[in-house]
Every structure is written in structure tokens, then in C-alpha cells.
Amino acid sequence: METMIPLEEARRIVIGHVGRTAVEMRPVWGAVGLPLAADAPTDIDLSPFANSAMDGYAVRSADLAGAGGDAPVVLDVVGHEAAGSVFDGEVGPGCTVRIMTGAPLPAGADAVVKYEDVRVLSGDGNEGSRVSFAAPAPAGDNVREAGLEARAGEAVMRAGEVVSPAGAGLLASAGYTEVPVHAAPKVGVLSIGTELVAPGEVPARGQIRDANSSLILASALAAGAEPRFLGIVPDDEGAIRRAVLEAAASCDFLITSGGASAGDYDYVTELVRREGEVLFDRISLRPGKAITFGVVRGVPFLGLSGNPAAAAVGFELLARPALRSMRGHVELDRPVSRARVAHDVPKGQQRRFYDRARIERGADGELSVHEASSQNSALLGTLQRANCLLVVPEGLKGYAAGDEVDCVRIDLPEGSVL
């Protein structure tokens, strides 16, 4: 009797047998979407000086303490300061400095009044003018303090934190032109089957085009890996062994499709057992229970089903989180939505089902999910049009219309907040 392990155990085994890839340096803008491999402390205070948050006038709050509409305070404009320039003097009693957004707060001043709230009495509003203020200005008003973002030596981003476009700007402000990230894992992809021909060929009777290699290469690329297609291998024990061992010598992770079940010409599991270690070869999962995972010459090896949809689901649930872990990602789980199933979903086996489905929000704001009309594991069109995998756990015989179900959102990135 075959032994099937739970998906959670299989996932734990796969992730536990991969390590972080080597660290490489990327330009801060080229690290977008990647987690940092180390903390990033700033070398200066951010910002390095107190500066104005508005175009306006730098003032001493004490001068305007009694200002009001019936008793405006008149000040002399003694300087003009734009971003990138510095007023060398000090703002004394009865004086103000015209200031632009981002310019350093001049000595003596402790607040900024925005330009629209100031009346110009004489001159053009710049040095030599006189201006009046009709309201007090509390100390610190419209002023960005030095070190508001971070103090020198503090980390502006932590290891594992994913760089966003804003994060790239933050890192640049902290002095970084490059940052350390984990390199994309090199993923070797082999398609196994004498019946397979390349996508550009017209298959003869008994042959089929190799769809799985494109599927897996695209999935690996989307997971942040560097995929390498290593070819189609016939159902020949020696040829498969040579291809697998050659791939193991140059890749960080190896994925095959086909040849992993119990057919007469399925050599993959026994090959892994002879050349390394098989850690599991059956999962309580539909589609794709016949998944082999092990280690060959120190390289993680995942043997997926030859059925395209089963290969896709196996990659999604096992390979994707492992490859993300290798790049240093902390978030490894796709978000899960709760939705009401729109129709009955029968189930005739004890395995856990991950059915292709589409989740939608109705006019009432509620989420409903429609299972694809066919769950045939040879079909990819239903997966192309799906945006989730409807989960039917072990022990259930299915769902009735209106039941709440879990849906793995394959259309949303890990860490998304629903």
C-alpha cells in the first residue's frame, strides 16, 4: 500500500533542504522586488539638518506669540534661502528669512510660516522687504527635524526586507549605490518522455509537444529564479541518469517533469535513490500525488508529474516557496481568501484537492468562487483562466453551494494583505 505524506510535511522537507544562494551586489534600483541580504545602516542623519517643509518664511516663534488679525506682527526680511543654499547669518528679533522647501532652517529660527499665510507690505517678498503675520507660529511648525527618518548608524532597512521603489530611494539617501542580495538560484529544467517533441515541431501520431518545460521555466522565472532548459530526455535509464547528473553539476535546484510515477518506464525515483536520497515520493494531493523530492549530489531535486496542470500545482505548492527561500524571502505563502462556493463541489478521494477556480467579488461586496468545469490534469487552459486554487481538505466529501472555502490566491504575491 502506497504511503502519502501530508502537503505540510512535504513543504517542510523541501524548504528545509534548500539554503540561501550566494550574495551579490545590485544597484539599489536593480534590487527592487528582492530582499536585502544584510541590514542597511545609514552613514548620516536623515535628514542631516533641520529643514523647511514648506515654501514660506523662517521665523522665531517668540516674535509671533501675540500675532492676530487685529494685531499683525511686521518683520524685516533679511535673507533668502533656497534648497541647496545656506543663509549664513542668524535670524534675530524682528527678522525673518524667505525659505524654500527643503532648505536648512537658519540659525535663530524655530518655525516656518507658509507663504500663503504671509502678507507682503513692501518689496517683492525677498530680502529687503517687510512682511506681516496675522497668527502665531508654534515652535517646530512646518519644520522637519534632523534625523527624522533615521539617525547615523541606524538601519533604514533590515535583512529580509523587500526593496520597493521607495526603498531604493531610501537606500540612496542613506549613501548606498549598491546593496547585497541573494543571487537568483540556477534552476535546471528537464522534460522526460520519449513521446515529447519540441514546441516548434509538428507531433507525429503518438507524440505530443513539450508544454511542461515552458510552464516550469516560466514558473521558475516568476519565482525569482534563473531557469535553464536542459532539454527533452527519452524514457531511457542511462540517458536520464546522464542528464540529471550533468544538471546537478551546474544548478542550484533541479526540476524534472514526467517519469515520476509507477509506470514501466518511470526511472526518476529509483535514479534519485541510487545517486542520492529520496525524501518522499507521494503526497496526499490532487492533482499530482506522484511527486518525488530528494537530493542528488548535494542538489535539491524535484520530480513533478508529466501531466501539465499537476506539474503546475506541484511547482506552486513546493518549488515556488523553496526558490523564494533561497533568495532570502521571509514571506513564502500566497494569500488565502475565504469565499462562498457558487455550486456543489463533490469529492470522491481522501487526498487534499487543489482545484482550479476563479474567485470574484459580487455587487454586494462578497467573494464567491467558481470551480473550473474540468479538473483534468492534462488541461492548462483552466489554469490559465484561474486566479485561485480551491482547497478541499482531507476528510471532507466536498462542499455544498454556499459553503465557505479557502482559496489560495495564485494571482497575488506572497505577503499581500486581503
Provide the whole-model pTM. 0.88
pLDDT in tens, the chain (418 residues): 468 999 999 999 999 999 999 999 999 999 999 999 999 999 999 999 999 999 999 999 999 999 998 999 999 999 999 877 789 899 999 999 999 999 999 999 999 999 999 999 999 999 999 999 999 999 999 999 999 999 999 999 999 999 999 999 999 999 999 999 999 999 999 999 999 999 999 999 999 999 999 999 999 999 999 999 999 999 999 999 999 999 999 999 999 999 766 565 578 889 999 999 999 999 999 998 999 999 999 999 999 999 999 999 999 999 999 999 999 999 999 999 999 999 999 998 889 999 999 999 999 999 999 999 999 998 999 999 999 999 999 989 999 999 999 999 999 999 998 8
Please tell me the predicted confidence (pLDDT) of residue 265. 54
Question: Are the C-beta atoms of 358 and 388 separated by less than 8 Å?
Answer: yes
Please tell me the predicted confidence (pLDDT) of residue 261. 61
